[in-house]
Amino acid sequence: MENFEYLAGSTRPPFTLAEIIIFLTVIYLFMGPGGNWQILLAVLLLIYWFALMAGKLWPPPKFDFPKTPLIRKSSSPNTPTKANFIWSPEYKVGFWWYFPPVKKYVLIHHRAIEERILTEDDFIKPTPLRDQDLALVHGRAYLWRLYLLSITPLCFLNGENPISFKILKKLKVVCGGTYLACKIALEQQMGMNLGGGFHHAFACHEEGFCHLNDMSIAIRKLQTERLINRAMIIDCDLHQGNGTASIFESDETVFTFSIHQDDLYPYPKQYSNCDISLLRNQRVDDKRYLEELKILPTLIQEHRPDLIIYLAGADPFQYDRLGGFLLTKQGLKDRDAYVLRVCAEVDIPTAIVLGGGYAPNIDDIVEIHLNTIRVVHKLLKADV
């Protein structure tokens, strides 16, 4: 009964049109005339359909909050690394038709070194998270489906979320990067992953180019390891963080904040603990956006998190292809500076992830993310 209650409580229709078409196609292939290739195709589609249904009917994992006390931060001056920035060459992987500008991950690292904002000593490479870490957030059936898609031609049926074995491997590395950024933040007050921010991924399905919710996985893993009790996500991407809002919907230990364009994907929205929903016709510029963020000190004081994850999306930019906000590059830099100073002033460890950005000129996207790095680097130097 629990499975059907989960399905009934979902904001998605029980079955999509594509799933119905696939099922009817399977019946036609089995019943119609044809050779071995037709039976083989029918079996393959049937396996895929069952995987889809298993992901829907198998509810997301229930997180049992550990009862043991927190592990105290080490007083030793010898921290594991002096690097605060996480990046891997594996971050750039994608299909040729993949819409997100994955090339930016290489360009950001290259320009940060080239412009001497950072050196190679400032970077550390992450290791991929294990399936048991992913299963702290994502349903087992859903993870099996991702593997099935990644090793078969069925990946072409996955709409806006194509997947391959290389992409899945990359995603696990990026999730490891966000987790590592959080660990470094707990040790050194601030850590930044030059990737991540996959806030549209739900526990049992993918959405919006997001398959694995790296921020949610990192929080759950840190809670399991007893490094944190409470966490907060400050989501400043243009799109609402519907996946993280759904995952932590009934969890009082994680506070989700999202400031986003309301008349824009995703539809329908999920309820964050605090949503600031703005419209295109409100002409949201630098001044208006920063004014809205002034609620953050109060929210942080009320929730008292042990860790904050800040999603510094580049898509509120005035020339973004998908959005309607009017923020300039300087306005986005001021946004980063304000959010991170607020976190620093109350002495809460903060991990930063990049999120989206879809300006027609990739150099604009890279420059916006570089400005975030500049702000983080400046604050780290001031703290030395």
Q: Within the chain, where are the H helices?
A: 2-8, 17-31, 36-57, 104-114, 131-134, 140-150, 165-188, 214-224, 242-247, 286-292, 296-303, 329-345, 362-383
| Residue pair 233/256 in contact by the 8 Å Cβ criterion | yes
Cα separation, 154 vs 136, in Å, equals: 26
In the predicted model, what is the mean pLDDT of residues 110-116?
Answer: 96
Planar angle of CA 180, 186, 190, nearest 5 degrees: 80
Say whether pTM exceeds 0.85. yes
Q: What is the pLDDT of residue 65?
A: 82
Task: Tell me the CA distances in angstroms from 81 to 15, 89, 111, 188, 189, one per residue in order.
Answer: 48, 19, 23, 9, 13
In the predicted model, what is the mean pLDDT of residues 121-142?
Answer: 95
Q: What is the pLDDT of residue 76?
A: 41
pLDDT band at 94 (very low <50, low <70, confident <90, very high): low
Q: What is the pLDDT of residue 44?
A: 75
Q: Is the pLDDT of residue 249 over 60?
A: yes
Distant-in-sequence, close-in-space partners of 147: CB < 8 Å, separation ≥ 6: 168
Q: Is the pLDDT of residue 15 over 70?
A: no
Instruction: Say which residue the tokens 């594509």 belong to.
Output: 18
- Residue boundaries of the structural domains of the chain: 70-138+172-383
Interstrand relation of 190-193 and 307-311 (parallel, antiparallel or unpaired): unpaired
Instruction: Say which residue the tokens 């292809």 belong to.
Output: 321
Q: What is the pLDDT of residue 38?
A: 79
Q: What is the pLDDT of residue 18?
A: 66
Q: Is the pLDDT of residue 359 over 60?
A: yes
- Per-residue model confidence as pLDDT tens digits over 253-305: 999 999 999 999 999 999 999 999 999 999 999 999 999 999 999 999 999 99
Please write down the HEC assignment for all residues of 237-284.
Answer: CCCCCHHHHHHCCCCCCEEEEEEEECCCCCCCCCCCCEEEEECHHHCC
Q: What is the pLDDT of residue 162?
A: 80
Cα separation, 101 vs 240, in Å, equals: 19
pLDDT band at 77 (very low <50, low <70, confident <90, very high): very low
Which is higher by pLDDT, 355 or 48?
355
Among residues 19, 36, 165, 163, the alpha carbon closest in space to that of 98 is found at 163
Q: Within 261-360, where are the H helices?
A: 286-292, 296-303, 329-345
Q: Please, is 189 exposed, middle or buried when counting C-beta atoms within 10 Å of its C-beta (0-12, 13-18, 19+)?
A: middle
**What are the backbone angles phi and psi of residue 324, rounded to the nearest 5°?**
-130, 15
Among residues 258, 342, 264, the alpha carbon closest in space to that of 300 is found at 342
Which is higher by pLDDT, 78 or 292?
292
Cα separation, 320 vs 313, in Å, equals: 11
C-alpha 233 chain-centroid distance? 11
Cα separation, 76 vs 159, in Å, equals: 50
Whole-number average pLDDT of the chain = 88
Q: What is the pLDDT of residue 161?
A: 78
Q: Is the pLDDT of residue 153 over 90?
A: no
- Per-residue model confidence as pLDDT tens digits over 165-212: 888 999 999 999 999 999 999 999 999 999 999 999 999 888 998 999
Q: What is the pLDDT of residue 29?
A: 75
Cα separation, 339 vs 233, in Å, equals: 12
| 277-291 residues labelled b (16+ CB within 10 A) or e (exposed) | ebeeeeebebeebbe
Which is higher by pLDDT, 68 or 273?
273
pLDDT band at 45 (very low <50, low <70, confident <90, very high): confident
**70-138+172-383 CATH choice from 1.10.150.20, 3.40.47.10, 3.40.50.300, 3.40.800.20:** 3.40.800.20
Q: What is the pLDDT of residue 145?
A: 84
Q: What is the pLDDT of residue 159?
A: 64
Q: Is the pLDDT of residue 6 over 70?
A: no
pLDDT band at 80 (very low <50, low <70, confident <90, very high): very low
Q: Is the pLDDT of residue 96 over 70?
A: no
In the predicted model, what is the mean pLDDT of residues 131-156?
Answer: 86
Instruction: Say which residue the tokens 């400046």 belong to.
Output: 378
Least confident residue range of 2-16, 95-109, 157-171 = 2-16
Q: Is the pLDDT of residue 11 over 80?
A: no
Q: Is the pLDDT of residue 2 over 70?
A: no
In the predicted model, what is the mean pLDDT of residues 105-118?
Answer: 96
Which is higher by pLDDT, 67 or 338?
338
With a pLDDT cut of 90, the percent of the chain lying above it is 64
Interstrand relation of 350-353 and 190-193 (parallel, antiparallel or unpaired): parallel
